[in-house]
Chain A
Amino acid sequence: DAKTTQPTSMDCAEGRAANLPCNHSTISGNEYVYWYRQIHSQGPQYIIHGLKNNETNEMASLIITEDRKSSTLILPHATLRDTAVYYCIVRHKAAGNKLTFGGGTRVLVKP
């Protein structure tokens, strides 16, 4: 699976949009971009995934560049409860495929 690069940490203000970048320049044509987050002392939580079109759900939006070499996770109105480590993962979409986590981005939402 392709490797991803994310900033180590970032702060954002409560109520503002949080934009989390991810680079995956070696992504192949049939690999998806997945985002998970992990709040302290909890298991990872699925957020969203996409192939090449932008995706939106109740938690976030995923914007994937046209060349698919990078993407941005957008939390539209960050709350204190969004403080977590956010992981960007690239993988083939198949039932048995493991998730390969990198270091993630530690996001701190400040009041």
Chain B
Amino acid sequence: GAGVSQSPRYKVAKRGQDVALRCDPISGHVSLFWYQQALGQGPEFLTYFQNEAQLDKSGLPSDRFFAERPEGSVSTLKIQRTQQEDSAVYLCASSSALAGTDTQYFGPGTRLTVL
């Protein structure tokens, strides 16, 4: 079946612009995660949803970052007033959350470049 998809794959924004990044998880997956990966670093956790509920947003770096998953499937990560330090690859992962099967599957990521 289809894996996790993300769009756009690449986004260039001018400093101060707002951006919206989309994640389509694997169909039926209850859990959805967002990670941020700076160049040359491992991914870092941003936020976690179980269905439509955002249960953990401890990794969001500032109040300019906002994520939503209103119907418990597609999720959007929004960054307001982008700064150069927001340049990174944003990864989305989903998992089924069934007992014993919590493996997270990742999408290809969105590479955000803020000029």
- Residues of chain A whose beta carbon lies under 8 Å from any beta carbon of chain B: 41-46, 49, 85, 87, 93-104
Which A residues touch B93, using CB under 8 A? 43-44, 99
Q: Which residue on chain B has the smallest CB distance to residue A91?
A: B102
Q: Which residue on chain A has the smallest CB distance to residue B41?
A: A103
Q: Which residue on chain B has the smallest CB distance to residue A49?
A: B103
A83 CB to nearest chain B CB (Å): 16
B29 CB to nearest chain A CB (Å): 10
State A42–B110 Cα separation when bound (angstroms): 10
Interface of A is mostly: loop
B102 touches A87 (CB 8 A): no
Q: Which one, B42, B55, B102, B106, contacts A43 given CB within 8 A?
A: B106
User: 16 more A-B contacts (CB under 8 A) besides A43-B106, A43-B107, A96-B48?
Assistant: A43-B4, A43-B93, A44-B93, A95-B30, A95-B95, A95-B97, A96-B97, A97-B102, A98-B33, A98-B45, A99-B45, A99-B93, A100-B45, A102-B42, A103-B41, A103-B42
Does B25 count as interface, using CB distance less than 8 angstroms? Answer: no
A98 touches B106 (CB 8 A): no
Which A residues touch B31, using CB under 8 A? 95-96
- Residues of chain B whose beta carbon lies under 8 Å from any beta carbon of chain A: 4, 30-31, 33, 35, 41-45, 48, 50, 55-56, 59, 91, 93, 95, 97, 100, 102-109
Name which of B31, B42, B45 has the most chain A CB atoms within 10 A of its CB.
B42
Would you give 17 A-B contacts (Cβ < 8 Å), ordered by A? A43-B107, A43-B108, A46-B104, A85-B42, A94-B102, A95-B30, A95-B31, A95-B50, A95-B95, A96-B48, A96-B56, A99-B35, A99-B93, A100-B45, A101-B42, A102-B42, A103-B41
